[in-house]
Amino acid sequence: MSRTKGAVSIRDVAAAAGVSVATVSRVLSPASAAVPMRKETRGKVERAIEELGYRPNDLARALLQNRTAAIGLVVPDISNPYYPPLVRGVEDVASSHGYRVVLCNTDRDPDKLTGYLDTLIKTRVDGIVVAGGGWTDAPDRTAVLGTYRTGLVAVGRHLTAHPSVRIDNVAASRSAAGHLIGLGHRRLTFLGGPESSTTVQDRAQGFRDALTASALDGLAPAVRFGSFTEESGYALARDVLGSSRPPTALLCANDRIALGAYAAAADTAHRIPGDVSVVGFDDTPIARYVRPTLTTVSIPTYEMGSAAVRLLLAQLAGEDAPAVETMPTRLVLRDSSAAPAAGRAHDVLSLTSSSSSEREVRCASRWRAAGRVACSWLR
Amino acid sequence: MSRTKGAVSIRDVAAAAGVSVATVSRVLSPASAAVPMRKETRGKVERAIEELGYRPNDLARALLQNRTAAIGLVVPDISNPYYPPLVRGVEDVASSHGYRVVLCNTDRDPDKLTGYLDTLIKTRVDGIVVAGGGWTDAPDRTAVLGTYRTGLVAVGRHLTAHPSVRIDNVAASRSAAGHLIGLGHRRLTFLGGPESSTTVQDRAQGFRDALTASALDGLAPAVRFGSFTEESGYALARDVLGSSRPPTALLCANDRIALGAYAAAADTAHRIPGDVSVVGFDDTPIARYVRPTLTTVSIPTYEMGSAAVRLLLAQLAGEDAPAVETMPTRLVLRDSSAAPAAGRAHDVLSLTSSSSSEREVRCASRWRAAGRVACSWLR
DNA sequence: TTGTACGCGTTATCAG
DNA sequence: CTGATAACGCGTACAA
């Protein structure tokens, strides 16, 4: 019996088996099979381990080996539907490599970030994945990491010197706007989130690029900012749709904003997509369930999470990994975007649909893919 | 300089400050202020800590104190929209008490559960929160915990001897069915998930109870089982709605099943709620966004997560906590449930709406609550 | 007021 | 083939 807690230690096992702790350690060692050892001895030890319910103390192991097999995962808020798949991606590849994941929610609060970073360093995690940042002062905050050789990979754009996994927000937005322009829309408005967000800036830029490329930028250089919420989307859309010459298409910085726009359209008697087309960003699960279903840019969040961990592990292994890995997005066409009604599509220009490196896909139902019964409206 | 990694240890600080390690330890000790110490010495130490970017090694500390300040959180799948709020609830109160959270996704696979439990014990977490189980053989699997005095709190029903946080599924389901019966429905069908799930069993039971209480059980004792997916809900609903005398109301074991039912209704030309009312379970975010908005039973998942941690911490502190804490659910009335159309409500009986301990609320928009502009269809 | 020495549970090294 | 022992980084009696 050990003295502290009820915990059984390697010494208890050694005593029970009538051998030394070194022998027990050898049985447990990963190189166990290779090590020559009398079968009988091994048996005694294994029996003792079994009977006592012994579980090696990874703390002691980590202390000695300078490696905890733990990684920290920092997200703004797991309740935001955008993050669960990313978290799952992280956890899946982490656990498949024997790493465990410590989850931290920052609410985008710099102080919380600092606090969590500190905690993670004190517990000596081997590495950290920081998602959804846009921490303008990140360099300062991550400076300590070097001292403890803690790996770091960012997901999304960060002003750090660390490797990162990203998407090309400019191109994705350009593609989405191009889709609308290709449908014949001439008056478009971008409904953004916080102007300080680099993500929003990039998406706004892609929007402007598409207009410029189609020589539409003079007509309606409408870019509005707000926050990443339904409320904000509602307010912006309501304002815009209530103007004397409302746009026929809205490109929204995320799906939540788009949902707000849906509500504003309903309240101002605009039909979607008859009177106004709406396109979102993120392809949140909800996008498939709202009516009309929402055309939106799908972001491979699960893959970004798993890629981040792979990058991190490579970094920890000393391999030289790419500094930035860009993942592909795709525009998922659903029912909220269509050609503008005849009477509304003035300002017509002749143009070809903007070329794009993104794939535009007509999204096939998973049910159909699985060969199940067809189902009309779920896509 | 320390030998391993780049890590700076307490010895490095001591050397830099020209004091002993004990002195440095004293500065860092929580009882630091109480301990008498020359101001100058303390200053030297603090400066050294600052300059070296020293962070105490919590592994060593934990090894010594037999307490890791970590808890494990086991969920079936964080990607399931039901869990993020629960996880957030756990993380919030854990972190506010200085604990960190290790996240584990089991996919309801008993082997994964066992594996994670093992990992958590090896890393000597102080306690574990297991959510969404229904592990029929959980007792065996958690037996080891006793050896290491690892706390455990279950969320949802588990066949273990551990404390748990629950909801009263029977009562909640009875209440939901009562709502439909109160509206005048006489032919109701319960669309369940896996029959092996205790949650499903309870919800089915509450459904039957309500019918029995209204003497309707002879008319349509329709209880169907399947899985917790849209596909299953679609298949069951399609089958049921295609029968010669279809039900006028469907009570679904969760929102995903309800969404499948929506699709089936659309494909069989049944209008919701005109031809058939649909009620779900869980109040997933999607419930507010589908058309018609979905009447459903709201479950306080965030609160269940935070309550679980409070229970766990009490348990760790040796306080005697309640063995089972039951949290209140509420039926959120939206647009998918209404009185049956006149021609369809035969089999009429006179009855009062079933009394219920649950609150039925007409859900007020957060927007309105916040005093923002009214918005017609988002609720 | 500060320093020394031991132990926490392991693993690695080196004898035997 | 197996056992004794020195670390790993820290907290804490106890000594100075």
Specify the pLDDT at position A159: 64
Q: B330-333 and B324-327 as β-strands: parallel, antiparallel, unpaired? A: unpaired
Instruction: List Cα–Cα distances, A312 to A129, A212, A327, B68, in angstroms.
Output: 8, 39, 16, 25
pLDDT (tens place) for every residue of chain A, 379 residues total? 344 566 899 999 999 999 999 999 999 987 766 777 888 899 999 999 999 999 999 999 999 999 999 999 999 999 998 999 999 999 999 999 999 999 999 998 889 999 999 999 999 999 999 998 766 555 567 778 888 889 999 998 766 788 999 999 999 999 999 999 999 999 999 999 999 888 999 999 999 999 999 887 666 569 999 999 888 999 999 999 999 999 999 999 999 999 999 989 988 999 999 999 999 999 988 888 888 899 999 999 999 999 999 999 999 998 887 889 999 999 999 999 999 986 444 333 322 233 333 333 333 333 333 333 334 334 3
pLDDT reading at B365 higher than 80 = no
Same domain, A39 and A180: no
Specify the pLDDT at position A139: 54
Please give the angle made by the CA atoms of A179, A287 and B296, to the nearest 5 degrees.
165
Specify the pLDDT at position B349: 31
Q: Strand D: which of residues 246-275 in chain B lie with Cβ below 7 A? A: none
Same domain, B246 and B355: yes
pLDDT tens digits, one per residue of B5-33: 568 999 999 999 999 999 999 999 877 66
**How far in angstroms lies nucleotide C16's C1' from the CA of residue A20?**
14
Q: Which residue is nearest to nucleotide D3 (CA to C1')?
A: A20
Same domain, B84 and B214: no
Same domain, A116 and A250: no
Mean pLDDT over the full length of chain B: 85
Which residue in chain B is spatially nearest to A75 when comparing CA positions?
Answer: B88
Instruction: List Cα–Cα distances, A73 to A119, A183, B56, in angstroms.
Output: 12, 41, 21
Residue B95 placed within a domain: yes
Q: Which of A55, A239, A372 to mutate to test the interface with B (most CBs of B within 10 A)?
A: A55
Residue A2 placed within a domain: no
Same domain, A190 and A111: no
Least confident of B172-176, B207-211, B218-222: B218-222
Chain A residues in contact with B80 (beta carbon < 8 A)? 84
Sheet strands (E) in chain A: 70-75, 100-105, 127-131, 151-155, 164-167, 188-191, 222-224, 249-252, 277-282, 295-298, 324-327, 330-333, 359-362
Residue B83 binned pLDDT confidence (cut-offs 50, 70, 90): very high
pLDDT tens digits, one per residue of B258-268: 999 998 998 89
A55, A105, A373: residue with CB nearest B148: A55
Same domain, B283 and B370: yes
Residue B4 placed within a domain: no
Q: A100-105 and B100-105 as β-strands: parallel, antiparallel, unpaired? A: antiparallel
Residue B225 placed within a domain: yes
Number of structural domains (chain B) is: 3
Residue B125 placed within a domain: yes
CATH number at residue A43: 1.10.260
Sheet strands (E) in A231-350: 249-252, 277-282, 295-298, 324-327, 330-333
Q: Which residue is nearest to nucleotide C13 (CA to C1')?
A: A22
Specify the pLDDT at position B7: 81
Specify the pLDDT at position A323: 87
Which residue in chain A is spatially nearest to B141 when comparing CA positions?
Answer: A53
B56, B124, B376: residue with CB nearest A122: B56
The protein footprint on chain C, as nucleotides within 7 A of a CB, is 1-5, 7-13
**How far in angstroms lies nucleotide C7's C1' from the CA of residue A130?**
37
Give the whole-angstrom CA distance, residue A375 versus residue A219. 41
Coil, helix or strand at residue A219: coil
Same domain, B160 and B276: no
For residue B22, which nucleotide's C1' is closest to its Cα?
A: C3
Tell me whether residues B59 and A79 touch, CB distance under 8 A. no
Residues 92-151 of B with CB under 8 A from A: 92, 95, 100-105, 116, 118-119, 121-124, 143-144, 146-149
A102, A234, A289: residue with CB nearest B100: A102
Specify the pLDDT at position A161: 80
Same domain, A208 and A339: yes
Instruction: List Cα–Cα distances, B81 to B84, B101, B301, in angstroms.
Output: 6, 19, 11
Specify the pLDDT at position A360: 36
Specify the pLDDT at position B138: 54
pLDDT tens digits, one per residue of B299-357: 999 999 999 999 999 999 988 878 899 999 999 999 999 999 864 443 333 222 333 33
Same domain, A322 and A212: no
Chain A residues in contact with B101 (beta carbon < 8 A)? 102-103
**How far in angstroms lies nucleotide C3's C1' from the CA of residue B301?**
53
CATH number at residue B219: 3.40.50.2300
Residue A5 placed within a domain: no
- Counting every residue written for chain B, the total comes to 379
HEC letters along chain B: CCCCCCCCCHHHHHHHHCCCHHHHHHHHCCCCCCCCCCHHHHHHHHHHHHHHCCCCCHHHHHHHHCCCCEEEEEECCCCCCCHHHHHHHHHHHHHHCCCEEEEEECCCCHHHHHHHHHHHHHCCCCEEEEECCCCCCHHHHCHHHHHCCCEEEEECCCCCCCCEEEECHHHHHHHHHHHHHHHCCCCEEEECCCCCCHHHHHHHHHHHHHHHHCCCCCCCCEEECCCCCHHHHHHHHHHHHCCCCCCCEEEECCHHHHHHHHHHHHHCCCCCCCCCEEEEEECCHHHHCCCCCCEEEECCHHHHHHHHHHHHHHHHCCCCCCCEEEECCEEEECCCCCCCCHHHCCCCCCCCCCCCCCEEEECCCHHHHCCCCCCCCCC
pLDDT reading at B220 higher than 60 = no
Domain hosting residue B39, numbered range: 10-56
Burial class (CB in 10 A: 0-12, 13-18, 19+), A258: buried
Residue B45 placed within a domain: yes
Same domain, A227 and A115: no
Which of A175, A138, A172, A143 lies closest to A155 in space, CA to CA?
A138
Residue A4 placed within a domain: no
Measure B269 CA to nearest chain A CA, in Å.
11
pLDDT tens digits, one per residue of B124-169: 999 999 998 666 555 567 778 888 989 999 998 766 788 999 999 9
Measure B378 CA to nearest chain A CA, in Å.
7
Same domain, A87 and A151: yes
Supply the pTM of this predicted model.
0.88
Same domain, A163 and A16: no
Q: What is the average per-residue pLDDT within B242-261?
A: 95
Name the CA dihedral angle for A160, A166, A167, A169, rounded to a multiple of 10 degrees: -20
